[in-house]
Every structure is written in structure tokens, then in C-alpha cells.
Structure 1
Amino acid sequence: MKDINYISKDAKIGKKTILNAPVRLVGNAVVKHSCEVGSYTFINSGTTLFPGTKMGKFCSIGKNCELGAFDHPTTWLSSSAIQYNLKLHFPDYVDDFEQKKIVRPSETIFGNDVWVGSLAIVKRGLTIGDGAIIAGGSVVVKDVPPYAIVGGVPAKVLKYRFDEETIERLKKVKWWDMSISKLKDISFDNISEALDQLEKRKED
């Protein structure tokens, strides 16, 4: 079967962005320039991936999230963009303020099998580990470990999806990189049995 993306007519995709089919963008989802999205990832309406966001495979992203959003300086005289981006916001007043260079992280990284609940915000420059879950409405300001479930404002680790041994097996098998043929008939609803099957098929 030919690789196909499912893109809503209202969705927007920036330049130099790579969608590794199949990817689904729903409603008015926005993936800005220089992003990359892995296969079988679903991005819901109202969500924005800001420039330089890299997202793995099999991710599920809820509605109205801001992922990798640009922040404002907090240690300068002002938090206003008049100090560093006047041309974009007030082009008729470019001579009023000397512009300063602002340095921000170039990428925000989401691993594979990440679920982000609706209305979540993820600060630019963070790394969200494989298998992590971000609760809806959370504000994430720190890196999230693999298979952690985080929530709150600011988000904190609430618990982990599995015990340490299971997480280590998942990190080693990296099922998301296996061919679709090897994922057929896996016991998805039984983590122990699924891992046994995946480990055996990876060896074949």
C-alpha cells in the first residue's frame, strides 16, 4: 500500500517540515516550519507544533495544545517582543527600539508513543521521553522521563506506566521501529505477553 497522509483541508504545514506517512492532522492543526512528525502520529484540531519540533512515531496529540512554543525573556528589562522582534509585530515602528538578539533552543523533542492530553503546553527545548503521557491542561517546563505520566501546573511526575523491569524491556525492544508485519496479532492489551511476542519477533 502506498504511504498516505490524512491532512484536513484546514490544517497548515510549514516549509521544510517532514510528515512520515501515515500521519493524520485533524481540523485546523498547525505544524510549523522545520518540524518532523513520525508515522502513525495523530495531531488533533487546534494544536500547534512550533518550529523545530521533532515528534516520534505512534504519538497521540489532543486538541488545542501548544508544543515547543516560543517564550519571552524574563531577565531582560521587559518581556515584550519590542526588544527583539519589532519588525514582525510593529513594522511601522522599527526605528523606535534597538533590537537585541534572543537565543532560544532550536528543537523540542517528543519520543515515540507519547500521548499529550488536550490544552497542554510544552515549553520549548524540552525532551519528552518515549511512552510518556502528559495530562490534559498541564504546563510542562522540565524534561519528561520515558513512560512517566505527568500532570499539573507546572507538570510533575505522578507515576510511571509500568514497573522498572517492564520499562527497560520496552526501551530495549523499541517496538515502534519494527515493521508493521511484526506488529500484527500482538497482544496489545497484555503488556507482559506483548513484550514476550515482540522480543521473540525481533530475534527472528
Structure 2
Amino acid sequence: MSLDTIVERAASALGYPPVTHDLLDRYFDAAEFDIAPSARISIGCLLRRRVEIGPYARLSRGCILDGDVTIGRRTNLEPDCDLVGEVEIGRYCAIARESTFQQTNHRIDRPSLQIRLYEEVLDGELPSTDDGPISVGSDVWIGTRATILSGVTIGDGAVVGAGAVVTKDVEPYAIVGGVPAERIGWRFPPEIRSRLLELEWWEWSERRIRENRAFFERSLGGAEDVPLARSAPTD
């Protein structure tokens, strides 16, 4: 077993405490971690390449982040989520168990599509292919076992139903489901969506969020329930 594998397995078993970030950054060129001290990483997660995790974000057991991956403030990943390639997820998102974000894909225009054959038998490589990075906004809910494919952008406030396969962009506050995923509804009518996008509450400080507790605890029935961005209390 190589030293790289030993260190990687040890960091995973320990839940990537801060001391392992410095060790991996220093001795492994392929690893670059920027993990907030308040982020929580469960035992059994695996982080590879470039990973940035924001304050109070949480990774449950068995999550794999392999690529150029960014996780925003207080976003939660439930068990066994896979994020592969260039993936960015915003703030305050809820990612249900066994969700997959697959930004890179196998090439299918060569005689074989197995990467190991090219690496171990031919002593070469089979380059991956992709349609661009995956970008997920803030306040997004991804349901259990959803799959998000290369090049997709999911707007702020959207909902992706359980088991959906998302192959194209999702509008802010849309609800999508199915294979391939299609819009099946909206969280709010247009006037509320517009006000929420202007408000961008996910950019507020946590002190400001607490000071506006009444807003977060009400059901939004009309535009009057959402403060105008220009009149909302500031930090």
C-alpha cells in the first residue's frame, strides 16, 4: 500500500481534523483543502484534489468529494453523496442521501471506455469528457438519489425531486422531477420569487438572519410577506 493511500485512509478515518489539511497540502501536490474550522466532516468521508468547505457546512458519513469542489456556508450533505469534477454548491442547501453530482463522463468514441484498461494495460490514459461545471445556487433542496449531470446550473431556491436525473438547467425556485427532470411546479408565484431573488437573504450575516426571525418563520402567501431588499434591515 502506497504512502498516499495510507495517509488518505487515515485522514478519512479521522474525519479530516485540521492537522490533516496542512499535512495533505504540504506533501501531496494533488490535494488542496480550504476547510472552515467550524465545518463538520464525518468519519468515512473522502476528499480528493481541490476542496473548499464553508463555515458550519456538514458532510455526513460516506460522502466523496473528488475534484474542484466548493461547498457553501451551512450546506448539509447527507450520507453517501458523491461530488465528482468541478462542482459548486451554494449556501444553506439541503442535499439528501446518495445524491450524485457527476461533472465528468467517460468518452465513448474509442474502442474501450474503461479507464483502467488505458492506465494499466496500455500505460496511457483515457481523457474524460464534460459539458462544463455543475453550479448549484443557495437554499436548494436536492432529493434522495437525485443525479445532477455535467454542465447543469440549478438556480437559487430550487427543489429537485427524489430520483430525478437533471440534464438541463433548473430555474430559481422551480420544482423539478423525473428522468430526465422536467419542471413540475414552482415554490412560489412570480412576485414572491422576484422579491426573494432581490433579497438574497443567504448573503446575510447570521446576526441579521436572527434579527429577522419573524420573516423566516412565516409562510409566504404574497409579495407583502417578503421585505423589499432596499428596506430590509442591514447588518
- Coarse TM-score class (shorter-chain normalised): 0.7 to 0.9
Counterpart in the other structure of 1:152: 178
**SS of corresponding position for 1:167:** helix
Correspondence 1:32 to 2:63: no
Deviation, 1:102, is 4.8
Relative distance call for 1:203 and 1:9 in structure 2 (3 A) is closer
- Supply the distance in 2 between the matched residues of 1:103 and 1:197 (Cα, whole angstroms): 43
What is the CA RMSD across the aligned residues, in angstroms?
2.4
8 Å Cα contact 2:103/2:130 also seen in 1? no
Relative distance call for 1:186 and 1:68 in structure 2 (3 A) is farther
Relative distance call for 1:197 and 1:40 in structure 2 (3 A) is farther
- Supply the distance in 2 between the matched residues of 1:5 and 1:99 (Cα, whole angstroms): 35
Q: TM-score, normalised to structure 1's length? A: 0.85
Q: Decide which moves more: 179-188 or 59-68.
A: 179-188
- Supply the distance in 2 between the matched residues of 1:169 and 1:109 (Cα, whole angstroms): 22
Relative distance call for 1:62 and 1:174 in structure 2 (3 A) is same
Structural mapping, 1:1-204, within 5 Å: 4-73=38-107, 76=109, 80-82=112-114, 85=115, 88-89=116-117, 91-94=119-122, 101-184=127-210, 185-188=213-216, 189-191=218-220, 192=222, 195-196=226-227, 200-202=231-233
8 Å Cα contact 2:103/2:151 also seen in 1? no
- Supply the distance in 1 between the matched residues of 2:132 and 2:160 (Cα, whole angstroms): 22
- Supply the distance in 2 between the matched residues of 1:77 and 1:51 (Cα, whole angstroms): 21
- Supply the distance in 2 between the matched residues of 1:197 and 1:172 (Cα, whole angstroms): 8
The alignment of Structure 1 onto Structure 2 pairs a total of residues equal to 195
Q: Which runs of 5+ in 2 are unaligned?
A: 1-35
8 Å Cα contact 1:182/1:201 also seen in 2? no
8 Å Cα contact 1:128/1:146 also seen in 2? yes
Q: TM-score, normalised to structure 2's length? A: 0.74
Q: Which has the higher contact order (CA 8 A, sep 6+)?
A: 1
Identity of aligned residues (%): 27
Give the partner amino acid of 1:190: S
Deviation, 1:31, is 1.5
8 Å Cα contact 2:94/2:141 also seen in 1? yes
- Supply the distance in 2 between the matched residues of 1:33 and 1:20 (Cα, whole angstroms): 16
Deviation, 1:70, is 2.7
**SS of corresponding position for 2:61:** coil
Q: Decide which moves more: 189-198 or 9-18.
A: 189-198
Q: Which runs of 5+ in 1 are unaligned?
A: none
8 Å Cα contact 1:68/1:107 also seen in 2? no
